[in-house]
Structure 1
Amino acid sequence: MPETRLDDVLVSPSLPDAVRAALLAPMVDHHCHGVRRDDLSRSEFEMLITEAGTPAPPGTTHFDTPVGVAIRRWCAPVLGLEPHVPAAVYLSRRTELGAAEVNRRLLRAAGIAAFLVDTGLEGPELLSAAEMGRLGGAAADEIVRLEQVEQEVAEAGMPAVDYAGMLREELAARAARAAGLKSIAAYRCGLGFDPSRPSRGAVIAAAGRRLAEPKERLTDPVLVRHLLWAAIDVARERSLPLQFHCGYGDTDLDLHRSDPALLTGFIRAVAPSGVPVILLHCYPFHRQAAYLANVFPHVYVDVGLALTYTAAGSVSVVRELLELVPFHKQMFSSDCYGVAELCLLGAVYHRRGLARVLADRLGEGEWSPADAARIAHMIGSGNARRVYRL
């Protein structure tokens, strides 16, 4: 089979032409990671299509999940296979084509105009931001992960009194060539931290403890708060947004501590800075995130990897977010990592889910075709281009 275009099955031909065009237009993937450049064994591939962090139980497979079935449905045709081929056939074809060709086909089929790549999970096996752009036929920029920068500073070694200054300098240097900043505070201390800026004395005392064991991960709430406020200062100077991981993630996360509503105090405190705060993924707290985007002018939201992992059920997530979120406050991201299939699926389920919701609104007479097309454009690319100054 030749490479397959998915347009007609992604978006119903019965939608008005302007709405179809807006849904199928190239999008900005405002939060993703590098994908593997090497060929993968079945066990390696299965570990990259789950957030579980462990192999499936004996006698089972991670292909027996919403995302596993979705790969066989939507990615197989892009690799020249019939939809729904067995997993073994799919993986054999993947090996036959080779990682570079698989990545090229899947990334390009996603229809992405620009990748904003979180480089906090760097490794020689992962494509760089520039390589993601080159293989995907798109522009590419870096999103700097705050905790990675802090780790490098801590491991460099210094007196505790110099920690804050060196961290500020390194953040500024990294931000100078980035499109945005990102925090994984949800993983490190949870999002319910004290929102106030810590005092200099508290930071020095905490830095002393931190620098005694610099190879440990940053979890001290005082230093997490200091890192975030230092990032706000840099982001304000550079006109950059700050992303927060919220909600659904791997087993390193305590889900109840990743509810974006816990960030309300911090969101309120940073409002005078004007720095855009972007809530990533958010599931199953996407309604809370929609509320925050509704009432705070500097808050934006996506549902990211929730669409990939809920797959055929993702339309309900899109519908629930759109109950309240302002249309100029929502963005698209795939949060792909490791395998390019996750980039394609993120784009597929964004377009399919939004198309279903738009069709309902049009059918009910709630929105005009011009409204629907404008909303699809804003969410797919317009909002990200404005906020990240692309």
Structure 2
Amino acid sequence: MVDHHVHGVVGGELERGVFEELLTESDRAVPGWMTQFDSPLGFAVRRWCAPVLELPPHASPEEYLAARESWGSREVARRLLAAAGVDRFLVETGLGGGLAEMAALSGRPVHEVVRLESVLEEVAASGAAAADLPLRFREELAQRAASAVGVKSIIAYRWGFDFDPDPPGEAEVVRAAGAWLREGTSRVSDPVLLRFALWTGVEHGLPIQLHTAYGDPDLELHRCDPLLLTRFIKEVEPRGVDLLLLHCYPYHRNAAYLAQVFPHVHFDVGLAVNHTGARSEAVIAESLELAPFAKVFYSSDAWGLPELHHLGAVLWRRGMTRVLGHHVDSGDWTFDDAVRVARMIGRDNAERIYHLR
């Protein structure tokens, strides 16, 4: 398997409160009257991660956290990453977490996906003047992406998909850069600069990952429907650059439509698989309703807790087995075709798009 979009693991021992905050996409504190263990993801941790730490399935949260502390964070990470059975990780480094650390903990090859906005923010923080920022960004991105397999945009978080789909002009970029630098904020959120970063990624030619839909409250979900990207998708099509829509829930059927009608559009339901837990089979089934199977990818979008790296793979395998097994049992598919499709989504599609072979 290839996890085509994933993040690093948080090091060090975690108190219960911090652990529970990493079990949710919310950036708010968990209310004192509830626990994130009482969620689809929390139940999945107790069911599928507990045995990896030599506990019985469905161990209590207290037993699970005690075992986690006893093993130590590095051993927990090694165990869970190994049990995931993922052969290669494509790590998006915008959230922190080094490639070397991920490679050491997993014992598997890792490749970098560069976050466009992070590079732009680093260039601005280096003291670049507004007039120099466009060229400095292009140069820095070229250097960073030279050893990467793809780039990623979080324009969904910083603005939304209802942006002007055309590339901005150079003078427009310089004016926006001047305003941003005068504000003195480290976070880039100007739509002109976000479009500039995205189109610079297009010019570079690597596959572009786009965070789509489900995420933390920093985004406005109704502005992250991938259908809002339709005009941008059409603008990119002649340039031969692949667009990979990440996560997509609850708009995964919309993403499947785009993947069906545009040759350069692909998608996954990573992140949603983890957070829907026992219901992840339904999300996986819906993701396979319309799009050609060569356009669907596996990812976990795990970050922080190695439990998420493990569960992404376990729940995806479980869901695919049940969904495709039903097709075989009903006589609609052959067994060999089911295996072939599982391999396409779990490995082959990523190897093709990211040139991993």
TM-score normalised by structure 2 residue count: 0.98
Q: Is the 8 A contact 1:147 1:218 kept in 2?
A: yes
The C-alpha deviation readout for 1:45-103, integer Å capped at 9, x for no partner, is: 11111111223322211111000011000000000000111101100000000011100
Q: Name the structure 2 match of 1:328.
A: 294
Q: Is the 8 A contact 2:125 2:186 kept in 1?
A: no
Q: Name the structure 2 match of 1:283.
A: 249
Is 1:301 matched up with 2:301? no
Q: Is the 8 A contact 1:115 1:129 kept in 2?
A: no
Is 1:233 matched up with 2:199? no
The C-alpha deviation readout for 1:342-378, integer Å capped at 9, x for no partner, is: 0111111111111111011112221111211110000
Q: Alignment RMSD, CA only?
A: 1.0
Is 1:91 matched up with 2:65? yes
SS in 1 for 2:350: helix
Q: Is the 8 A contact 1:151 1:214 kept in 2?
A: no
Q: Name the structure 1 match of 2:213.
A: 247
CA distance in structure 2 between the aligned counterparts of 1:372 and 1:214, rounded to whole angstroms: 54
TM-score normalised by structure 1 residue count: 0.90
Shift of 1:214: 4.1
Is 1:312 matched up with 2:286? no
Count of aligned pairs = 356
Is 1:103 matched up with 2:69? no
The C-alpha deviation readout for 1:302-347, integer Å capped at 9, x for no partner, is: 0000000001001111111111011001111111111100011111
The C-alpha deviation readout for 1:228-271, integer Å capped at 9, x for no partner, is: 1111111x2xxx20000001101111111111111111111011
CA distance in structure 2 between the aligned counterparts of 1:348 and 1:339, rounded to whole angstroms: 15
Q: Name the structure 2 match of 1:370.
A: 336
Q: Name the structure 1 match of 2:89.
A: 115
SS in 1 for 2:11: coil
Cα separation, partners in 2 of 1:130 and 1:158, compared to 1, 3 Å: closer
CA distance in structure 2 between the aligned counterparts of 1:105 and 1:30, rounded to whole angstroms: 21
The amino acid of 1:160's aligned partner reads A
Structure 1: gaps (5+ residues): 1-26
The amino acid of 2:191's aligned partner reads P
Q: Is the 8 A contact 1:46 1:55 kept in 2?
A: no
- Counterpart pick for 1:196 among 162, 166, 170: 166
The C-alpha deviation readout for 1:102-143, integer Å capped at 9, x for no partner, is: 000000100010011111011xxx4x2222122212110111
CA distance in structure 2 between the aligned counterparts of 1:290 and 1:154, rounded to whole angstroms: 37
Q: Name the structure 1 match of 2:44.
A: 70
The range that moved more, 210-219 or 360-369, is 210-219
Is 1:360 matched up with 2:326? yes
Identity rate of aligned residues, in percent? 54
The range that moved more, 333-342 or 55-64, is 55-64
Q: Name the structure 1 match of 2:117.
A: 147
The C-alpha deviation readout for 1:182-219, integer Å capped at 9, x for no partner, is: 00000001011110011122112111112213433111
The range that moved more, 197-206 or 209-218, is 209-218
Is 1:215 matched up with 2:185? yes
CA distance in structure 2 between the aligned counterparts of 1:229 and 1:217, rounded to whole angstroms: 19
- Counterpart pick for 1:56 among 30, 45, 58: 30
CA distance in structure 2 between the aligned counterparts of 1:52 and 1:257, rounded to whole angstroms: 18
Structure 2: gaps (5+ residues): none
